[in-house]
Amino acid sequence: MSSIQLSEELLIDVQKLLTQHDEAAKDMGVAVQYMSAMTGLLLANFKSYDTDEKKELLSKLYNFAEHVMTDNIAEEQKQASQGTNDEAFGVWKP
């Protein structure tokens, strides 16, 4: 797979666009459903692959999405635990 650039701005822009199409996409669960359905539709229209190749690519995309999710969760947990330690660090002077 090629290298891609994700940013908070991109995610916000995509969700705004989905919300313009359907107000329900303000709910992250609905937005994710749209993204999943669009992935399936794009793959269905990918004419250079047969059905088995499309299924294999979909499986790889699932694994990639899972990897991105778990990495992001781990990073958030790491930052949260560091923030907790920082709050208790320092010297208090009256």
What confidence tens digit (pLDDT) does each residue in 32-74 have? 999 999 999 999 999 999 999 999 999 999 999 999 999 999 9
Residue 25: closest CA among 12, 36, 34, 13? 34
Residues 30 and 59 in one domain: no
Residues 37 and 19 in one domain: yes
Asked if residue 93 is part of any domain, the answer here is no
pLDDT of residue 1: 60
Number of independent structural domains in the chain: 2
Task: Answer whether 0.85 is exceeded by the pTM.
Answer: no
Domain assignment of residue 18, given as a range: 8-45
Asked if residue 3 is part of any domain, the answer here is no
* Terminal C-alpha separation, the chain: 57
Residues 77 and 64 in one domain: yes
Contacts of 61 (CB under 8 A, 6+ apart): 39
Residues 54 and 82 in one domain: yes
Q: Which two tokens stand for residue 46?
A: 């990918």
Contact 31, 16 (CB under 8 A): no
